Amino acid sequence: MSVITYRQALRDTLRAEMLRDENVFVMGEEIGVFEGSYKITEGLLKEFGEKRVRDTPIAEEGFVGAAVGAAMLGLRPVVELMTINFSLIAIDQIVNHAAKIYGMFGGQTSVPMVIRTPGGGGQQLGATHSQNIELYYSFVPGLKVVAPSSPADAAALFRAAVRDDDPVLFLENLGLYNTKGEVPEGDESVAEIGRAKVTREGTDITLIGYSRMAMVAGQVAEQLAEQGISVEVVDLRSLRPLDRETVVESVRKTSCAVICEDDWLTYGIGAEIAASIQEGAFDYLDAPVRRVAMAEVPMPYAKPLETAALPSVESITTAVKETLDAVGRRVG
C-alpha cells in the first residue's frame, strides 16, 4: 500500500491509461511543454510525444469541440480545462454536442471523452476563478459527472471515466491536490460511476458530501466521535448518475441528515439530495434535513472573507449538533 497525493494518483492513472490504450490522448492549454498548471501531465510530452499530448490555443470552445469530433471517430480524448470556470466558454460544445450526440443520432456514434477540470475556493483566485459550477452539468442528461474526494477514488474513477463510452466531466477540487491517501500498489480497480460510498459507519446522524466536502465530513465525524457522537459519512462520488439509494438507506438507519457542499445553497446539489431524502426516507426522519453551503456571494479575494464564505469543519459541526439537539439525541 502506497501513500500518495491526489495529484500523483491522477498523473499515474493517466499515464497508465495512455500506455494501455493508444487511442487515449491528452489535450489542453499548457499541458505539454509547461506540463500543466497543476502538473497532472508532468513528463507525458517527453514520454508520449506531441501526437498524444497536444498543447492547444486558449480557445476552450474550439478544442473541446475538436475533442468531441475525435471521440466520435474512435479516439479517447482526455481534455484538461485549466479551471471549471473556463468551461463556460465551451458550454455549448459540452451541453449541446458531447452530451446529446449519442441520443440525437440513435446510438450510431458514442462520444468517449473525459473533461478534467479543477474548481473550488480557498486559493485566493478571486470570484471568477473559484467557483463550483458542477450543478450546471449535473443537470444535463447524456453527461456523467464524477467528483472523487480521495487519491484511491480519484484513480479508480479516472480509470472508469477514460474507459467509459459516454462523455464524463471529471471534477477535481484545488484543495485536494496535495492531500494524501492510501492507494494499493499495482491497483487497477475500476470504480462504478454512479455509486456512492459509505466511508464511515455511524448510527446517530448521516453526513453527506462530495469532493472536498466529503473529506471535510470525514474530519467532522472523527472529531465528533471523540465526543460520543456516531456520524455516518456518505461520499456521493458521482453527481450524475446520482446514487440516491445509498443516501436514503443511510438516512433510514440514522434518522437525521446534514448535507454539506462547496457551492451556493440555493438550487444546489444539496437541494436535490434533500428532496431525495424526503421522497425516500420521510417517515424515518426525526428532524428536518440540514444543508451547509458557502455564502451566497461571489467568492471574495481577501483571505479572511474567503475563509468565512466557505463551509468549514466548525459550521458543519454546529449543524450536526443543532440537528441532534432538536431531537434530544445529542451525546456530548
Domain membership of residue 188 (yes or no) is: no
- The Cα 194–Cα 144 span in angstroms is 8
Measured distance CA(211)–CA(234) in Å, rounded: 11
Do 99 and 47 fall within a single domain?
yes
* CATH number of the domain within which 48 lies: 3.40.50.970
Same-domain pairing of 290 and 242? yes
DSSP state of 87: G
C-alpha cell, 108: 450510431
Q: Looking at the domain assignment, is residue 17 inside a domain?
A: yes
245 in active site: no
End-to-end C-alpha distance for the chain, whole angstroms: 36
Residues 169 and 215 in one domain: no
Helices (H), 244-329: 244-254, 269-281, 303-309, 313-326
Return d(Cα 120, Cα 38) in angstroms, integer.
14
Domain co-membership, 245 together with 303: yes
Residues 174 and 243 in one domain: no
Q: Which cell goes with 189?
A: 480497480
Domain count, the chain: 2
pLDDT score at 185: 80
Examine residue 307 and state whether it is found in any structural domain, yes or no.
Answer: yes
Question: Which contiguous run of DSSP H or E holds residue 298?
Answer: none
What pLDDT, in 10s, does the model give residues 166-188? 999 999 999 999 999 999 887 78
Average pLDDT over every residue of 23-43: 96
What integer pLDDT is reported at residue 186 of this predicted model? Answer: 78
**Boundary (domain end) residue, out of 159, 183, 207:** 183
Question: Catalytic residue among 29, 35, 60, 172, which?
Answer: 60
CATH of the domain at 250: 3.40.50.920
* C-beta of residue 221 within 8 angstroms of C-beta of residue 318: no
Kindly state the DSSP code that residue 184 receives in the 8-state scheme. -
- Dump pLDDT digits (tens) for 134-162: 999 999 999 999 999 999 999 999 999 99
How do strand 238-240 and strand 197-200 relate by DSSP bridges? unpaired
Q: Which pTM was predicted?
A: 0.95
177 with 227, same domain: the answer is: no
The reported pLDDT for the residue numbered 331 is 60
Residue 306 falls within a domain, yes or no?
Answer: yes
Same domain, 204 and 282: yes
What percent of the chain clears pLDDT 70, i.e. is strictly above it? 99
Domain end point (choices 183, 210, 230): 183
DSSP state, residue 260: E
What's the rounded mean pLDDT across residues 43-60?
97
Residue 317 neighbours by CB under 8 Å, 6+ apart: 220, 223, 224
Q: Are residues 16 and 136 in the same domain?
A: yes
Q: Is 242 helix (H, G, I), strand (E, B) or coil?
A: coil
CA 96, CA 142: separation in Å to the nearest integer?
A: 10
Catalytic residue check, 60: yes
Average pLDDT over residues 263-267: 95
| In-domain check, residue 233 | yes
CA distance linking residue 248 with residue 272, whole number of Å: 12
| Catalytic residue (choose from 17, 35, 80, 129) | 129
Whether residue 40 is found in the same domain as residue 140: yes
Q: Of 101, 186, 171, 177, which is closest to residue 137 (Cα–Cα)?
A: 171
Residue 105's domain comprises 2-183
Residues 154 and 282 in one domain: no
Which residue has 462523455 as its cell numbers?
167
Helix (H, G, I), strand (E, B) or coil at 305: helix
Residue 25, pLDDT score: 98
Among 200, 278, 269, smallest CA distance to 238 is for 269
| Residue 182, C-alpha cell as written in the block | 492510501
Name the domain boundary from 183, 212, 243: 183
Report yes or no on 58 lying in a domain. yes
Residues 176, 54 share a domain: yes
Rg of the chain, C-alpha, whole Å: 20
Task: Report how far residue 305's alpha carbon sits from residue 294's, in angstroms, rounded to the nearest whole number.
Answer: 11
Instruction: Please give the pLDDT value at position 332.
Output: 56
Q: Is residue 278 part of a domain?
A: yes
- pLDDT score of 163 more than 60: yes
When the pLDDT of each residue in the chain is averaged and rounded to a whole number, the result is 96
**Model confidence over 247-263: pLDDT tens digits?**
999 999 999 999 999 99
Q: In what order do the strands lie in the sheet with 238-240?
A: 53-55, 24-28, 76-80, 114-119, 168-173, 144-146, 238-240
**In a shared domain, residues 12 and 154:** yes
User: Per the domain annotation, does 77 fall within a domain?
Assistant: yes
Local confidence band at 32 (pLDDT 50, 70, 90 cut-offs): very high
Please give the grid coordinates belonging to residue 73.
Answer: 471517430
